[in-house]
Chain A
Amino acid sequence: MPALAPLSRHDPRLWQIASLTCLLAYGTAFLGFDVTAARAGLIVVTALLAQLAGTLAARLPFFDPWSSLISALSLCLLLRTNAPLVAMLAAAAAIGSKFLLRFHGKHLFNPTNFALVLVLVVTNDAWVSSGQWGSVAFFGFLLVCAGRFVVHRAARGDVTLAYLATSLALVVGRSLQLHEPLTIPFHRLESGALLLFAFFMISDPKTTPDSRTGRIVFGALVATGAAYVQFRLFRPNGALWSLVLFSLFVPLFDLVWPGRRAAPVFGATAFQPQPKGAFHAPILRLDLRPRALPVRRVFRRAAGARLLRLLRREGGHEAL
């Protein structure tokens, strides 16, 4: 039986678990989120069991429930379904994707993102209510997210900032182009779902590109894709579809812009973690190591590497 991975006081995941729990409590108590305690419990238990099963199957030395808890809590916040089986499927798929869909030691998709898209596509019983936050929740949420940036020195904040800046530019730009009053883009941006996505989902160090350049380009592309889905295809949940699509290209980003892999955070204990990406018995592993391309050096120089080197202080916390 693997030992329980410890969670240090300084682990950003602690902050994430605490803030997601608060958001869930606030959402159910005041915003009328359709999540019962039983449903939330079902999702959390399924996710933890899936994590345990994965840990055993992959013979990992430590059972790390914390990241699964984050995935489960965010599923509680985002997934709406009346079918308990669909909720369980989503929770199992989220955690299963971490073990099964791997590429060069990283899981390919953000677990929550993958699970949501999967149940939206394959079942007829799931939906995501992105408009349910309201402005009070938005500003509270914004405060929490900003606080996190200050506390954790914006480790991997680059992808979040790139996503938010691109979204802002696209949404405001579109309204300016259409001569709409600015209240419209700001109303669109004043969305709890946007913050949840930007601060908790896209910032996942396990599924974002390794290099800062890659992450900034990735964040901008996901925002562009989300805007395309919203303004051209007129479909809801653009960010989810866009993230799942561009996640497929992350290995390519890592080839073009290699960088230091985010280390798993198990806290400042004597515990010596085996890097999460380096376990030896994945059930399915597409091991295509990125090799330094000849273009790499040229590209780095060309891409203004000095600024990037300055900025390159890689953090490594788990996101949803």
Chain B
Amino acid sequence: MTMGSDYQGDPKDFAIVIPVPRPIEKGQIHIGDPKLLERLDAYSSPRLVEYHDPDPCVPHDYAAAPSAAGMIQRKSASEKDRARSLGVTIEASYTVGEYDILILSASQSSGLATWLRENGYRIPRGAAQVLDSYVRQNMRFFVAKVNLGEKTKLGFSTLRPIQIAYDSPKFMLPIRLGMANANGPQELFVYALTRKGRVETTNYRTVRLPSDADVPIYVKDRFADFYRALFSKQVARENRQAVFTEYAWDMAWCDPCAADPLSREELRGLGVFWVAAGDARGGGSEVFLTRLHVRYDAAHFPEDLAFQETADRQNFQARYVLRHAWSGDLACDAMPYIDSVRKRHEEEARTLATLTGWRLDEIRRTMKLDAPADDGAWWRKIW
């Protein structure tokens, strides 16, 4: 498990508490390279593909040119302070990289919350009850905070992702603790690297985002806005209760690739222990990547995310298509082509309005479409 946070603030205020199903030894903890998560994000983020219309007077095949764009947001992290011990068992204490890490267990229900609070951790209201239920499931707590001395020594300006390697039948992600201190909904991206196939949630709907839609060319300059609007629209459509699949692909190849597939070394760096090390690009078909995006809050996501690995190896990516009309000279009567382009633009405007909830007239204005769609009247084609 690799955890990256988009924590913004003073590193000394940073701390995370993560319930883990079993005790963790020092060798099981590793500090990852933030570039790996960036690579994974670039490789799998929703993207635009562009197609250029050929000269309608010289028929030939379409050429495809991929381009990449994406939005990156990370799960908000909690803010807590430093501490001393009281009432709970500190099973282990390690310094790994720039983090001081404690593995805690608690036998009594409210002991942990009390301990954390009395020791300077800012525990949000509501967190005590959540911690309590994890304590009763006999879970351990992985508490990490930044060791400023080590951080300065190592010279990293941002916080690097923490990695934990453990095996457990509990294929789940505790999100309830994070909701206790969040203002409004939180964004979470889950990248699952598996052997068999796509990963989905078993206790919430997992929904594919709309994909392969033709959208107006101007979306290229506003892709982040477009994608955010599209995602929000889909979240609302699913009553805020769904997890969205943005990407599901065999990592051996991609078409089109927004970024090069990850090398075996990079995959191993992300914890894919079953691929052999080596310089060859691509992990082969041994690795299947699922990227899930969830916007959650306590009202709509009452329980932790539970996952299952399915046998589904069907590839999916959230991609949106730009079709550039032919802009060169026309050496023939190209009225049918011009008509088709006009119709296409109108359809793209409507698609964009449906996907994002943006106003159709504004879209038309931005696209400089003069009038609503060609009405298809028979007499337009006479002369």
Contacts and interface: CB of A to CB of B under 8 A. Distances in A.
Nearest to A175: B133
Given A125-B311, A179-B132, A184-B303, A236 B241 contact: no
B203 A234 contact: no
A235 interface: yes
Given A131-B205, A134-B242, A188-B303, A236 B308 contact: yes
A233 B169 contact: yes
A183 interface: yes
B206 A82 contact: no
Given A129-B310, A134-B241, A179-B129, A32 B136 contact: no
A124 interface: yes
Contacts of A135: 239, 241
A132 interface: yes
B302 interface: yes
A179 B109 contact: yes
A233 B169 CA distance: 7
B207 interface: yes
A234 B169 contact: yes
B303 A134 contact: no
Contacts of A288: none
A106 to B, nearest CB: 32
Given A124-B196, A181-B129, 15 more contacts: A32-B207, A81-B311, A82-B314, A131-B201, A134-B241, A135-B241, A179-B132, A181-B302, A184-B302, A186-B302, A187-B203, A187-B302, A233-B169, A234-B169, A236-B202
Interface of chain B, main secondary structure = loop
A31 B196 contact: no
Contact of A131 (B137, B170, B200, B239): B200
Interface string B251-285: 00000000000000000000000000000000000
Contacts of B239: 134-136
Contacts of A131: 200-206
Interface of A: 31-32, 34, 80-82, 123-127, 129-136, 177-181, 183-184, 186-188, 191, 233-236
B311 A124 contact: yes
A221 B313 CA distance: 35
B208 A32 contact: yes
Q: Which of under 10, 10 to 19, 20 to 34, or 35 or more describes the interface residues of B?
A: 35 or more
A186 B303 CA distance: 10
A187 B303 contact: yes
Nearest to A137: B205
Interface in B129-169: 129, 132-133, 136-137, 168-169
B19 to A, nearest CB: 12
A223 B241 CA distance: 26
Contacts of B169: 233-235
A235 B239 CA distance: 27
Contact of A134 (B129, B172, B238): B238
Contacts of B308: 127, 236
Nearest to B302: A183
Contacts of B306: 236
18 contacts: A32-B208, A124-B196, A126-B311, A127-B311, A127-B312, A131-B201, A133-B205, A134-B239, A181-B302, A183-B302, A184-B303, A186-B302, A191-B203, A234-B168, A234-B170, A235-B169, A236-B202, A236-B306
Interface string B195-215: 011001111111110000000
Contacts of B200: 129, 131
Interface string B219-254: 000000000000000000011011000000000000
A132 B206 contact: yes
Given A82-B312, A136-B239, A234-B171, A177 B202 contact: no
A251 to B, nearest CB: 32
B314 A31 contact: no
Contacts of A178: 133, 136-137
Give the 10 A-B CB pairs with smallest separation, nearest first: A183-B302, A127-B310, A234-B169, A178-B136, A178-B133, A180-B133, A131-B202, A236-B308, A187-B302, A184-B303
B140 to A, nearest CB: 16
A110 to B, nearest CB: 21
Contacts of A191: 203
A132 B312 contact: no
A19 to B, nearest CB: 21
A186 to B, nearest CB: 8
A65 B170 CA distance: 42
Contacts of B303: 183-184, 187-188
A234 B171 CA distance: 8
Contacts of B310: 80, 127, 129
A129 B201 CA distance: 9
A159 B203 CA distance: 25
A130 B170 contact: no
B202 A130 contact: yes
Nearest to B200: A129
Contacts of A188: 203, 303
A226 to B, nearest CB: 13
Nearest to B308: A236
Contacts of A234: 168-172
Given A179-B129, A184-B303, A132 B205 contact: yes
Nearest to A86: B311
A177 B136 contact: yes
A227 to B, nearest CB: 14
A212 to B, nearest CB: 33
A28 B242 CA distance: 16
Nearest to B299: A183
- For A136, A178, A186, which residue has the most chain B Cβ atoms within 10 angstroms? A178
A184 B204 CA distance: 12
Contacts of A187: 203, 302-303
A132 B133 CA distance: 26
Nearest to A136: B239
Contacts of A123: 311
A126 B204 CA distance: 20
A189 to B, nearest CB: 11
Contacts of B197: 127
Nearest to B170: A234
A82 B314 CA distance: 8
A99 to B, nearest CB: 28
Contacts of A129: 200, 202, 206, 310
Nearest to B109: A179
